[in-house]
Amino acid sequence: MKNLKSLFGLLLLSVFISSCGYHVGYVQNNNATITNVELSQNNFKVVDKVSGSSTVSYIMGFGGKAETKLLEDAKADMYAKANLDGKARAVVNLTFEQHVETVFVFYIKRTLTVSGHVVEFTN
């Protein structure tokens, strides 16, 4: 009986300290700045691949930021790395990836990563 209680206690402890996670990724060909970029002619070159990410943590469901703010921060991080100022460049082929880690229901950590290709237009 004592061994059964110990086994049950160990099983219960392992459930509470274990964690799991999942990953979701999707591609959208949209641009948050409402810029239409047509890449049908040979007047551009791909110069870089950039990405930005944002992370939020929740403890027992509290804390963190809204999903729209998480996306906004990840995009701002990506655009800051894209070096678009003063150049005929745009970020295309945006990919959104989300990774969620959980420790039972007590702690949840979400990381959103946005990536895309920087194209530069030539004459």
For residues 90 and 84, is the Cβ–Cβ distance under 8 A? yes
Tokens at 98, concatenated: 């989300």
Tell me the pLDDT band of 87, cut-offs 50, 70 and 90.
Answer: confident
**Residue 63, pLDDT above cutoff 70:** yes
Q: Which of 96, 46, 60 is nearest to 75 (CA)?
A: 96
42 has a pLDDT exceeding 60 = yes
Q: Is the pLDDT of residue 23 over 80?
A: no
Q: Which is higher by pLDDT, 25 or 61?
A: 61
Helix, strand, or coil (residue 44) = strand
DSSP class of 72: H
Say whether pLDDT at 67 is over 70. yes
Q: Is the pLDDT of residue 101 over 80?
A: yes
Answer yes or no: is pLDDT of 33 > 80: no
For range 108-120, the mean pLDDT:
91
Beta carbons of 110 and 98 less than 8 angstroms apart? yes
Domains of the chain: 19-121 (3.30.110)
